[in-house]
Amino acid sequence: MPLPHNLNQNHLLGALTAEELERMAEHLKLVPMPLGEVLYEPGEQLQHAYFPTTAIVSLHYVMENGASAETAGVGNEGVIGIALFMGGNTTPSSAVVKTAGHAYRLGRRELKAEFERGGSLQHLLLRYTQALMTQMTQTAACNRHHSVEKQLCRWLLTTLDRVSTRELVMTQELVASMLGVRREGITEAAGKLQEAGYISYRRGHITVLDRSGLESRSCECYAVVKAEMSRLLSDVRTRGDASIAA
Amino acid sequence: MPLPHNLNQNHLLGALTAEELERMAEHLKLVPMPLGEVLYEPGEQLQHAYFPTTAIVSLHYVMENGASAETAGVGNEGVIGIALFMGGNTTPSSAVVKTAGHAYRLGRRELKAEFERGGSLQHLLLRYTQALMTQMTQTAACNRHHSVEKQLCRWLLTTLDRVSTRELVMTQELVASMLGVRREGITEAAGKLQEAGYISYRRGHITVLDRSGLESRSCECYAVVKAEMSRLLSDVRTRGDASIAA
DNA sequence: GCTGTACCGTGCGTTACCGCACAGACAGCG
DNA sequence: CGCTGTCTGTGCGGTAACGCACGGTACAGC
Please report, rounded to a whole number, the percentage of residues in chain A having pLDDT higher than 70: 94
Q: Do B129 and A129 lie within an 8 Å CB cutoff? A: yes
Nearest residue on chain B to A82, alpha-carbon basis: B130
Chain B positions in Cβ-Cβ contact with residue A91 (cut-off 8 Å): 130, 133-134, 137, 228
Compute CA distances A91 → A40, A42, A232, B181, whole Å.
9, 6, 24, 28
- Do B61 and A141 lie within an 8 Å CB cutoff? yes
Q: How many Å lie between the alpha carbon of B221 and the closest alpha carbon of chain A?
A: 9
Which residues on A lie below 8 Å from B92 (Cβ)?
Answer: 134, 137-138, 224, 228
Distance CA B7, CA B10 (A): 6
A179: the nucleotide nearest its CA (via C1') is D17
**CA gyration radius, chain B:** 18
Q: Whats the size of chain B, residue-wise?
A: 246
Asked if B140 and A59 come within 8 Å (Cβ–Cβ), the reply is no
**What is the residue-wise DSSP string for B19-87?**
HHHHHHHTT-EEEEE-TT-EEE-TTPPP-EEEEESS-EEEEEEE-TTS-EEEEEEE-TTS-B-HHHHHT
* Strand C contacted by A90 CB (< 7 A): no
Cβ of residue A167 near strand D, that is under 7 Å?
no
Record the pTM.
0.93
Closest residue to A93, CB basis, from B137, B220, B231: B137
Residues A138, A61 contacting (CB under 8 angstroms): no
| CB distance B32 to B92 below 8 Å | no
Dihedral (CA of B6, B10, B15, B16) sign: negative
Q: First-to-last CA distance in chain B? A: 18
Number of H helices, E strands in chain B: 10, 10
Q: Is B205 helix (H, G, I), strand (E, B) or coil?
A: strand
CA of A146 to C1' of C5 (A): 35
The spacing between the Cα labelled CA in B79 and the C1' in D8, in angstroms, equals 34
Within 8 A of B127 by CB-CB distance, chain A residues are 86-88
Closest residue, chain A, to B178 (C-alpha): A141
- Residue A43 above 80 pLDDT? yes
Q: Residue A181: helix, strand or coil by DSSP?
A: coil
Give every CB contact of residue A173 below 8 A, 6+ residues apart in sequence: A183
Cβ–Cβ of A59/B129 closer than 8 Å?
no
Q: What pLDDT score was predicted for residue A237?
A: 58
**Mean pLDDT, chain B cut into blocks of 10 residues (246 residues total):** 76 95 95 95 97 97 95 98 97 96 97 94 97 98 98 98 94 96 97 95 94 96 97 72 42
Contact residues on chain B for A220, CB-CB shorter than 8 A: 63-64
Q: Provide the pLDDT for residue B41.
A: 95
pLDDT at A1: 44
Alpha-carbon dihedral angle through residues B90, B16, B54, B57, given to the nearest 10 degrees = 20
A116 with B118: Cβ contact below 8 A: yes
**Contact, A189 CB vs strand C, < 7 Å:** no
- Across the interface, of B71, B118, B131, the residue whose CB is closest to A140 is B71
Question: Average pLDDT of A179-185?
Answer: 97
Strand C lies under 7 A from the Cβ of residue B167:
no
Which chain C nucleotides are covered by protein, judged by CB under 7 A? 6-11, 16-21, 26-27
Segment A133-156, tens digit of pLDDT: 999 999 999 999 999 999 999 999
Report the distance from CA of residue B235 to the C1' of nucleotide C2 in Å, as an integer. Answer: 66
Lowest mean pLDDT among A83-87, A125-129, B21-25: B21-25
B contacts of A224 (beta carbons < 8 Å): 92
Q: What is the pLDDT of residues A187-241, one digit of tens each?
A: 999 999 999 999 999 999 999 999 999 999 999 999 999 999 999 998 775 544 4
pLDDT the model gives residue B236: 74
> Rounded mean pLDDT of chain A?
93
Is A87's CB within 8 Å of B220's CB? Answer: no
Q: Do A70 and A180 contact (CB within 8 A), yes or no?
A: yes
Closest CA to A246 of A105, A114, A134: A105
